Amino acid sequence: MREFSRRNILAATTVVGVTTAISAAASAAQLGNPDRPPEGAANVANPKALAEPGPQNPNLARQLPSAGSPPPTDVNGMPMFWSSFNIMHKRIQDGGWARQVTQSDFQISEDVSGVNMRLGPGGVRELHWHQQAEWAVMTDGKCRLTVLDGDGRAAVRDVNAGDLWYFPAGLPHSLQGLGPSGAEFALVFDNGRASEYNTLLLTDWVAHTPPKVLAENFNLPVSAFQPIPVDDRWIYQGSEPPPLAQVQREVASSLGPSDIEFTFSPSAMAPTRQTRSGSVKIVDTRNFPVSATIAAAIVTIKPGGLRELHWHPNADEWQYWVQGTGRMTVFNTGPAAMTLDFHAGDVGYVKKSLGHYIENTGSTDVVMVETFKSDRFAEVSLAQWLACSPRQMVAETLKMDPRLIEQISKSRPDIVPA
Ligand code: MN
Ligand code: MN
């Protein structure tokens, strides 16, 4: 009983009060610095501990400053989600080149693989097909596409920088760079294992079919096949092709041309969302019906802009950084949070439903293409979710003032400040 004397109670109250004050101070100190033991260069007392006296590759380190010195809110780790076409080995042949980022080189990239290809004027990517669907975005120049649909109707189209195409799995096609400058583009296959060096090639098949069978199949004399190459062509320097309309007439079967729209021009559509900090154009089966396995968002983030905290509930995200400089942080259970930097030519990847956000860290617009192995683009915004959750619950969870919770927008701007 003596312990509960008035004096002791007063003393205890004082101790509790002090404890509360220390707790609030500690909490304030931990905002932006949440881990125990603390992580990040800001928590290193002796700067000598931060030195890197060992061997350095400064050019590489400069590309990834957030890897070399992560923010103190980063914690633990997760599989590498940065890669780049710029570090990949090029296959160059007369007419053009290609390089790729597949799951062999980028383990996280399970749903899709990416190819960066260049075809000079007249350069041809040989007639071929593959088991995966092919989605593409043109980044430079002009390209002619040919494809045969599943009903035996041909399509020939010319596409320009910014345009997209999609060839369903198995449909045979070709690509040719057009004058005066040829074409460059990125391809996305809906399978991380898919390789541009492992496609079904016209030349490979005819060279590996007995001449007698070829003659019978095409109703031509065996001698007609005497000149066929025994090596594949893959990419070769072709002649400048005839005008589009002439070729379209030439390839039409009795069924007429294909009525499938294999191409799409995002430049002709209004942004799906636009704020003062950027814009998003969503291209999926709702406006590009043929693209049954790849949905896309073309995102522009102005300097100082933030692609808001969000995730995608239906698919992994594969990113192609087309322009600018930015930084992406990905959040996972654990907790784990990891920040990496991106430049034009880089590839990013976020697994389905993992939280992420992107900051433009440069002085020019970031332009990036996000693709998803899905027929529909889908996104959950953290801010919208909180604004659309019971205010008292959010306030109690985060110990925030409910009047401030009320100010969070129920709309989803995508790029902020809106
Ligand atoms: Mn292809
Ligand atoms: Mn995203």
358 alpha carbon, closest ligand: 2
Give 202 Cα–ligand 1 centroid separation in angstroms: 12
Residues of the chain with pLDDT under 70: 1-29
For residue 36, which of 335, 318, 263 has the smallest C-alpha distance? 335
Give 195 Cα–ligand 2 centroid separation in angstroms: 25
Segment 316-343, tens digit of pLDDT: 999 999 999 999 999 999 999 999 999 9
Give 133 Cα–ligand 2 centroid separation in angstroms: 22
Rg (CA), the chain: 28
Segment 18-58, tens digit of pLDDT: 444 445 555 656 899 999 899 999 999 999 999 999 999 99
Give 130 Cα–ligand 1 centroid separation in angstroms: 7
168 alpha carbon, closest ligand: 1
Give 55 Cα–ligand 1 centroid separation in angstroms: 42
Could you tell me if 139 and 197 are in contact, meaning their C-beta atoms sit under 8 angstroms apart? no
Q: What DSSP assignment string belongs to 332-372? A: ETTTEEEEEEEETTEEEEE-TT-EEEEEE-SSS-EEEEEEE
Give 233 Cα–ligand 1 centroid separation in angstroms: 14
As a whole number of angstroms, the distance between CA 382 and CA 292 comes to: 28
Query: pLDDT value at position 27?
Result: 60
As a whole number of angstroms, the distance between CA 166 and CA 134 comes to: 5
Six-digit token string for 21: 């004050």
370 alpha carbon, closest ligand: 2
Compute how many other C-beta atoms are within 10 angstroms of the C-beta atom of residue 18. Answer: 10
Give 22 Cα–ligand 2 centroid separation in angstroms: 39
Each domain of the chain, given as residue ranges in start order, spans: 90-264, 270-416
Q: What phi and psi, each to the nearest 5 degrees, are found at residue 224?
A: -60, -25
Please tell me if the domain spanning 90-264 has the same topology as the one spanning 270-416: yes
Query: pLDDT value at position 18?
Result: 45
135 alpha carbon, closest ligand: 1
As a whole number of angstroms, the distance between CA 105 and CA 395 comes to: 44
The residues annotated with a catalytic role in the active site are: 370
Give 90 Cα–ligand 1 centroid separation in angstroms: 17
How many helical (H) and strand (E) elements, i.e. helices and strands, does the chain have?
9, 25
Query: pLDDT value at position 77?
Result: 87
Would you call 250 exposed, middle or buried from its count of C-beta atoms within 10 A (0-12, 13-18, 19+)?
A: exposed
Planar angle of CA 401, 394, 25, nearest 5 degrees: 50
Give 140 Cα–ligand 2 centroid separation in angstroms: 25
Query: pLDDT value at position 234?
Result: 98
CATH of 90-264, picked from 1.10.10.10, 3.40.50.300, 3.40.630.30, 2.60.120.10, is 2.60.120.10
349 alpha carbon, closest ligand: 2
CATH of 270-416, picked from 3.30.420.40, 1.10.10.10, 2.60.120.260, 2.60.120.10, is 2.60.120.10
Give 168 Cα–ligand 1 centroid separation in angstroms: 10
132 alpha carbon, closest ligand: 1
Query: pLDDT value at position 24?
Result: 52
